[in-house]
């Protein structure tokens, strides 16, 4: 059961943009329906577009209804929600304009009986991640005016484009806000299945004793998409799959799968364990980068809108790496992610070691015959695959699976990732948000690869046809399923 947060105000910068209409306000409406928003609460959207309150509400009504799809929506309930939604047209790139924002905040706090507690959500382009906090500080809006008040800031990815830029952004934000006031959001961590990794591991005695180098053959973490870059060509061509998916989403998933049990289930001990995992990743040598990191680009990418005709940006990454600690020494971990692949899916596959001797006909004879498949999207589920005797005479073995699907909990509302993460920020729970030291440790692993690729240019950039599972060169990594969804693996 989700808790209810204390009364507060949410200010969304970039409120006329896609993220607000497609994700944030639909998530906030679901929290409203579930009676989980604070008793005294208001949402103030702030952007350049010249909306009035009513015009902004009308626009967001359309977005919320569209996001809900076939769900039945109570019109009176939606009207009630929209009444706590307000808007201010102002120029966030001009420090002098923040007086208007400050006045509107004070006015809303008095009007809605809201105490001195404010969350700033930066749903803006990354270049504003430094400007907005800077101007908040210049206008005295980064610190609370009362003893029981607070300020929090939520920052969307990307958190820098390299170790150096991530460190600069962290230093900049930490000069304006305290570390515990900064919430670096990764929507993957808001997904129910991702959170369940920790529960699955640390609340079940049947899994944790096997979750180590003695019984695990390898670990694969994948995120595949069927679409190309669509309308994100300009952004994506400057980012690529390594920055866009591996540095944040896949690294965080890996940390949840590989971390040690925290002493207590509180935000800081959990985040401490995540940092330890990142610091234990073995750095690549140049030779290992060439042999264990495969970058690919789908045919036709260079013809996409706003993509350079000679672009070397990767749309596919396959990686093999090792975590040098007591639990995982010698166990290969794999990342696979890419665009224009056969299926949209994200999953973690724990490949357990096979039996030392094959006794039965049909028995799986690979290095890993038992798999635990944690499917994050679509069809959130957890499946255990193992061998059983086929009916009839003899002892012929067939691989089967025991599966739990979240949609079987038909009476339970599965919160969207942004619902969970927004509520956590309101509650002051930073468990599922990235801490600065973890962010920098992640970049220390990724940065040398980017530098190496920059030096190599188009060398070792492999191409693949849309609809394939990536470039054929991925096979040299030696993974069990090569990042292909594990619907029938085993």
Q: Is 317 helix (H, G, I), strand (E, B) or coil?
A: strand
Judged by average pLDDT, the poorest of 20-24, 65-69, 119-123, 402-406 is: 402-406
Judged by average pLDDT, the poorest of 269-283, 396-410, 448-462 is: 396-410
383-388 — which CB contacts under 8 Å span 24+ positions? 383/486, 385/486, 385/489, 385/490, 387/360, 387/363
* Beta carbons within 10 angstroms of residue 234's beta carbon: 12
> pLDDT tens, 96-128?
999 999 999 999 999 999 999 999 999 998 889
Phi and psi dihedrals of 145, rounded to 5?
A: -95, -10
The answer to whether the bond into 158 is cis (omega within 30° of 0) is: yes
Cα dihedral 356, 361, 363, 365, rounded to 10, equals: 60
Q: What's the pTM value of the predicted model, to 2 decimals?
A: 0.89
Domain boundaries for CATH 3.40.50.720 within the chain = 8-156
In whole angstroms, give the CA distance from residue 404 to residue 141: 47
- To the question of whether residue 48 is assigned a binding role by annotation, the answer is yes
Classify residue 22 by its DSSP letter: I
Token representation of residue 427? 């509650």
Under CATH, which number does the domain 8-156 receive? 3.40.50.720
Is 452 among the residues known to form the active site? Answer: no
- To the question of whether residue 371 is assigned a binding role by annotation, the answer is no
Token representation of residue 295? 């970058």
Phi and psi dihedrals of 15, rounded to 5?
A: -70, -15
- To the question of whether residue 191 is assigned a binding role by annotation, the answer is yes
Q: What is the pLDDT of residue 15?
A: 94
Question: At the fourth CATH level, which superfamily is domain 192-291+320-415+438-454+471-477?
Answer: Dihydrodipicolinate Reductase; domain 2 (3.30.360.10)
Domain boundaries for CATH 3.30.360.10 within the chain = 192-291+320-415+438-454+471-477
Q: Which one of the listed residues 249, 413, 451, 452 is annotated catalytic?
A: 249
> pLDDT tens, 215-271?
999 999 999 999 998 888 888 998 999 999 999 899 999 999 999 999 998 889 999
Q: Is 154 helix (H, G, I), strand (E, B) or coil?
A: strand
> pLDDT tens, 25-65?
999 999 999 899 999 999 999 999 999 999 999 999 999 99
- To the question of whether residue 339 is assigned a binding role by annotation, the answer is yes
- To the question of whether residue 385 is assigned a binding role by annotation, the answer is no
The percentage of the chain sitting over the pLDDT mark of 90, rounded to a whole number, equals 71
- To the question of whether residue 62 is assigned a binding role by annotation, the answer is no
Using an 8 Å Cβ cutoff, are 341 and 224 in contact? Answer: yes
Q: What is the pLDDT of residue 390?
A: 72
Q: Is 279 helix (H, G, I), strand (E, B) or coil?
A: helix
Q: Is 456 helix (H, G, I), strand (E, B) or coil?
A: helix
- To the question of whether residue 344 is assigned a binding role by annotation, the answer is yes
Q: What is the pLDDT of residue 486?
A: 57
Match 């690529």 to its residue by tokens.
240
């Amino acid at each position: 059961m989700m808790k209810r947060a204390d009364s507060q105000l949410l200010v969304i910068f970039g409120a006329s943009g896609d993220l607000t209409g497609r994700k944030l306000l639909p998530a906030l409406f679901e929290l409203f329906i579930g009676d989980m928003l604070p008793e005294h609460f208001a949402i103030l959207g702030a952007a350049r577009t010249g909306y009035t309150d009513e015009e902004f509400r009308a626009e967001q009504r359309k977005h919320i209804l569209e996001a809900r799809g076939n769900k039945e929506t109570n019109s009176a309930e939606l009207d009630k929600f929209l009444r706590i939604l307000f808007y201010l047209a102002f120029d966030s790139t001009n420090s002098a304009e923040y007086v208007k924002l400050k006045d509107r905040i004070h006015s809303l706090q008095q009007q809605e009986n809201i105490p001195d507690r404010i969350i700033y959500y930066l749903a803006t382009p990354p270049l504003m991640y430094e400007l907005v906090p800077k101007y908040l500080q210049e206008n005295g809006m980064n610190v609370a005016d009362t003893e029981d008040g607070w300020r929090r800031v939520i920052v969307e990815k990307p958190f820098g484009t390299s170790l150096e830029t991530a460190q600069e952004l962290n230093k900049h934000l930490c000069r304006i806000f305290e570390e515990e006031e900064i919430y670096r959001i990764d929507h993957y961590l808001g997904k129910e299945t991702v959170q369940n990794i920790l529960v699955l591991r640390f609340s079940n005695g049947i899994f944790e004793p096997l979750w180590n180098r003695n019984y695990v053959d390898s670990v694969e973490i994948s995120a595949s998409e069927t679409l190309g870059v669509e309308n994100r060509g300009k952004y994506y061509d400057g980012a690529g799959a390594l920055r866009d998916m591996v540095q944040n989403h896949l690294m965080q998933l890996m940390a949840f799968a590989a971390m040690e049990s925290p002493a207590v289930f509180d935000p800081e001990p959990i985040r401490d364990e995540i940092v330890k995992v990142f610091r234990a990743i073995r750095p690549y040598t140049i030779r290992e980068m060439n042999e264990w990191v495969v970058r690919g680009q789908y045919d036709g990418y260079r013809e996409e809108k706003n993509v350079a005709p000679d672009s070397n940006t990767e749309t596919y990454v396959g990686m093999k790496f090792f975590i040098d600690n007591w639990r995982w020494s010698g166990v290969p971990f794999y990342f696979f992610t890419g665009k224009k692949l056969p299926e949209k899916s994200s999953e973690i596959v724990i490949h357990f070691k096979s039996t030392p001797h094959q006794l039965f006909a049909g028995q799986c004879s690979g290095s890993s015959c038992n798999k635990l498949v944690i499917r994050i999207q679509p069809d959130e589920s957890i499946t255990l695959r193992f061998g059983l005797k086929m009916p009839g005479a003899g002892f012929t073995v067939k691989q089967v699976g025991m599966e739990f699907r979240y949609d079987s909990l038909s009476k339970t509302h599965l919160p969207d990732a942004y619902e969970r993460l927004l509520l956590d920020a309101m509650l002051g729970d930073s468990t599922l948000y990235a801490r600065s030291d973890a962010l920098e440790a992640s970049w220390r692993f990724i940065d040398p690869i980017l530098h190496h690729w920059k030096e190599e240019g188009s060398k070792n950039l492999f191409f693949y046809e849309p609809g394939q599972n990536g470039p054929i060169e991925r096979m040299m990594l030696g993974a069990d399923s090569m990042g292909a969804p594990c619907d029938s693996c085993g």
